[in-house]
Chain A
């Protein structure tokens, strides 16, 4: 996984739940493109048309609250979102995103407007708003999540390691 990249920000608010990321009615399929076609439509019906591959989703507190549906981070990833930066994430969504290889960063004090150019450095845990010339440090992630993301997701991590390395947790 590329550890440093830039993207255009799409900024939304607090408590964006998994139903608004991908509605329950769409979870009846294993076709990921079908999920991506409907991502965030109950939050912003124009999101899909505004999204360019590599864009960054920026949100407030408790992003991804609600359902454990992994279809939510999958839909974002397949639609072309390169990372989600939020003040903080609901816990199940946070793990799910890392597990499927969608970078997520918790930045409590990030200020950004839609359209701002954002640079993300996963290794350093730094988010820069290139438009506003500001820089932020992401909250530290547990080592196991860093390792999983490093491998591109939990499938690759477990394929390589065979198990959770207790000493590395």
Chain B
């Protein structure tokens, strides 16, 4: 069995537990995940399940994308992802669905998703640098300051923290607790926040 599922982040809300505590939860709608291909170590060099999820119109999909599904006679899906498994899983065949039932209330999960893009950000926001004085004659407000030495070495050290694109990177949070599972609506409620914007895709894996 594979302890993972892809889902869509719906947003955050609040619920109460039986003790009466108000819990901040994120609702994740589990997608219908179809096994497209089972990869075998002997044949493909590693063990993995190729999974398709999300809906797409037939004419919008590219031919190579469609070919992946047609080859294995699986219904066309928008996204293709691979999940590595430890040993060859003969339990799954192309066309099988991943089941939400592998998760139970109280389970700890790892959640992977792309966080929100912040655009071109300065060093204070991006790397947590300190800012200079805003007044008293100071002109050094939010600038990065010195970035290196003089004519030796006359270059900037590799990996120097500088302004640039921030966010929209893959982030994994670990140890999030499942508070509730609403099976008839395919919803999972996870305690706390989850990376990404509303409507973005996340991968849930059991720790």
Q: Determine if chain A interacts with chain B.
A: no
Residues of B within 8 A of A (CB): none
